[in-house]
Structure 1
Amino acid sequence: MLITKVRAHHIRIPYDAGVASFKQGASAISALEIVMVEVSTDAGITGWDDAFAYVCPRTSYAAIEEMIAPQAQGQEAPDAAGIPAFMEQIQRNLHLFGRYGITMFAISALDIALWDLAAKVEGVPLHRLIGDARRARIPAYASLLRIGKPELIARECETALRQGYKAIKLHETTTSAVFAARQAIGPDIPLMVDMNCPLNGEEAISFAHSCRDAAPMFLEEPVWPPEDFTTLADVRTKGGLNVAAGENACTVHQFRQMMKAGAVSHAQPSVIKVGGITEHLKVVALADELGVRLAPHSPYFGPGFLATLHLMSLRDDASFVEVFSMKRAACLWRGRIDVDADGNVEVPQEPGLGYEPDKAVMEQYRVA
């Protein structure tokens, strides 16, 4: 079975996050920018994924068209056993463009699409191709966007609990925000705090001390730069709280540096950034070897979210899947990845990733 075409599709779906804001630096994110990647074969079977985009969809689009497509088109599509070697060669071929960032986002997209293809050829859901599923539904946590005002944070936390979520994550950098959330949700609901790398080590240690009584499950990426694993380990040791990181890490090699430094209690591989399913599985094996817990990063709306559900179904470790708290104008999966009344997301059971993207939605929200 030959790969005949690798094509990128830029989709922009509006959303409403209410009182929250969504920014990448100074750039406001006014819509969900999804770069879908379609891998076609001469057997008529298609694999899908998305390349991480946020505020740079045209860059991710170009990486697929200019770097990934020439490497894959005309090649024999590998089966599951052959995907790691296939992707290793592509990583080698493209290493001069960098081992992280956009290059690895594009590589991740191809990797996941190939796993989607391989599972479809076998006629099984992705998780069954890899191992034995231990969960058919994954509990979700509401990932709240940046709000700022404690009274509004409390209100949004209460709304999320009414919607069925069993845990909350903030994107805030003040202790008043953390305590407002804890007071709103009570003592028994897990609370996580994602800081997005704002502090130096001394500041992060002080912040951990100041919000310790609010009992967050972990502080996520409190330190700049995110790859300063020595300082992150210092914050974990001296701050008295668990520390999570990894959404900005690519390949198992960077995760090995992170874990060996003792930087994290929770590793957060992001399947559409780390190098795809192939690298994600290596990170999982390493985390198990070193006794590090997993908290996959997953607030996406394309095929990468489906891949995350499959990977999480293989582990009975009480981990939550991350879901952005927002209202989307449309869903590529016809609402089938929505959080149910019990706060869970169902793991797809059809072959491959489980669902084919809604072509009508793709066309309606396609960016020329």
Structure 2
Amino acid sequence: MLITNVRAHHIRIPYDAGVASFKQGASSISALEIVMIEVSTDAGITGWGDAFAYVSPRTTCTAIEEMIAPQAQGLEVPDAADIPAFMEQIQRNLHLFGRYGITMFAISALDIALWDLAAKAKGVPLHRLIGVAKRTRIPAYASLLRIGKPELIASECETALRQGYKAIKLHETTTPAVFAARQAIGAGTPLMVDLNCPLDGEAAIAFAHSCRDAAPMFLEEPVWPPEDFATLAEVRAKGGLNIAAGENACTVHQFRQMMKAGAVSHAQPSVIKVGGISEYLRVVALADELGVRLAPHSPYFGPGFLATLQLMSLRDDASFVEAFYMKRPACLWRGRIDVDTNGDVEVPQGPGLGYEPDKAVMEQYRVS
């Protein structure tokens, strides 16, 4: 089975996050920017992948078209056991463009698509190609966008719990916000706090102490820069709270540096950033070896979310899947990845990633 074409698709679906807002640098994100890769074969089987693209979808598309497509077109689709070595060679071929960021996002997309193809060729869901599923449904936590005002945070938390979510994650940087959420959800509901890398070590330790009585499950990425693992380890040691990080890490090599430094209690590989499924599985093996828990990063709605569900089904570790808390007018998967009233997301059971994208939705929301 030969790869005949590699194509990037930019899909832009607006969303409504209510009282929340989300800013990345100077850009306000008002829509879900999804960059999918479509890998066609001479056998008529298509593989789908996903590349991180929040505020740079055109750049990510260009990386797929100019770097990834020439590396893959015309080659034999590797068997599942050979995908990691195949992708390792592509990493080597492209290392001059950087081992992180856009290059690795584009590599991630191809890797996911190859695993999708390999599982479809066998007629099995991805999880069965890798191991034995231990869960058919994954509990979700509501990943709230930044709100700011404690009273609004409390209201959103209460609404999310009524909708069935079993846990809450904030994207807030103030102690009143954390305590407002805790008071709203009660003592028994897991609460996570994502700071998005704003603090130095001293300030991060102080923040951890200030919100310790709210008992967050972990603080996520409290330190700038995110790759300062020595300072992150100091915050973990002196702050008295668990620390999560890894959504901005690429390849198992950076995760090894992070874990060996003692920087995290929870590792957060993002399958559409870390290097795809192949690198994700390497991170999982390393985390198990070093006794680090997993808390995958997955606030997206493309094939990467399906891949995350497939991978999480292989572990009976009570981990949650991250779901952005927002309303959107359309779903590439016809609503089948929505969180149900019990707060769960069903693991797809179809071949490959489990579902095929809705072509009508792709065309309606396509950016040319």
Same fold, TM-score > 0.5, yes or no? yes
Q: What RMSD in Å do the two structures reach over aligned CA positions?
A: 0.4
SS at match of 1:70: helix
For 1:256, the aligned partner's letter is R
Residue 276 (structure 2) aligns with: 276
Pairwise CA distance, 1:329: 1.4
Residue 147 (structure 1) aligns with: 147
Q: Normalization by structure 2: what TM-score?
A: 1.00
For 1:108, the aligned partner's letter is S
Mapped partners of 1:101, 1:38: distance in 2: 21
Mapped partners of 2:310, 2:257: distance in 1: 26
Unpaired runs of at least 5, structure 1: none
SS at match of 2:362: helix
SS at match of 2:40: strand
Pairwise CA distance, 1:287: 0.2
Mapped partners of 1:26, 1:315: distance in 2: 38
Mapped partners of 1:310, 1:224: distance in 2: 32
SS at match of 1:328: coil
Residue 28 (structure 1) aligns with: 28
Residue 6 (structure 2) aligns with: 6
Unpaired runs of at least 5, structure 2: none
Deviations 1:269-293 (A, max 9, x none): 0000000000000000000000000
Mapped partners of 1:120, 1:45: distance in 2: 7
Residue 255 (structure 1) aligns with: 255
Residue 236 (structure 2) aligns with: 236
Q: Does 1:367 align with 2:362?
A: no
Residue 210 (structure 1) aligns with: 210
For 1:5, the aligned partner's letter is N
Percent of aligned positions that are identical: 89
Pairwise CA distance, 1:22: 1.4
Residue 51 (structure 2) aligns with: 51
SS at match of 2:146: coil
1:1-368 matched pairs, under 5 angstroms: 1-368=1-368
Pairwise CA distance, 1:50: 1.4
Mapped partners of 2:11, 2:313: distance in 1: 28
For 2:178, the aligned partner's letter is V
For 2:278, the aligned partner's letter is T
Pairwise CA distance, 1:65: 0.3
SS at match of 1:355: coil
Mapped partners of 1:321, 1:347: distance in 2: 11
How many residues get paired?
Answer: 368
Pairwise CA distance, 1:26: 1.7
Pairwise CA distance, 1:10: 0.7
Mapped partners of 1:159, 1:361: distance in 2: 28
Pairwise CA distance, 1:36: 1.1
Pairwise CA distance, 1:308: 0.1
Deviations 1:213-262 (A, max 9, x none): 00000000000000000000000000000000000000000000000000
Mapped partners of 2:43, 2:22: distance in 1: 41
Pairwise CA distance, 1:350: 0.6
SS at match of 2:15: strand
Mapped partners of 2:350, 2:357: distance in 1: 13
For 1:228, the aligned partner's letter is D
Pairwise CA distance, 1:207: 0.2
Mapped partners of 1:314, 1:283: distance in 2: 14
SS at match of 2:38: strand
Mapped partners of 1:233, 1:192: distance in 2: 18
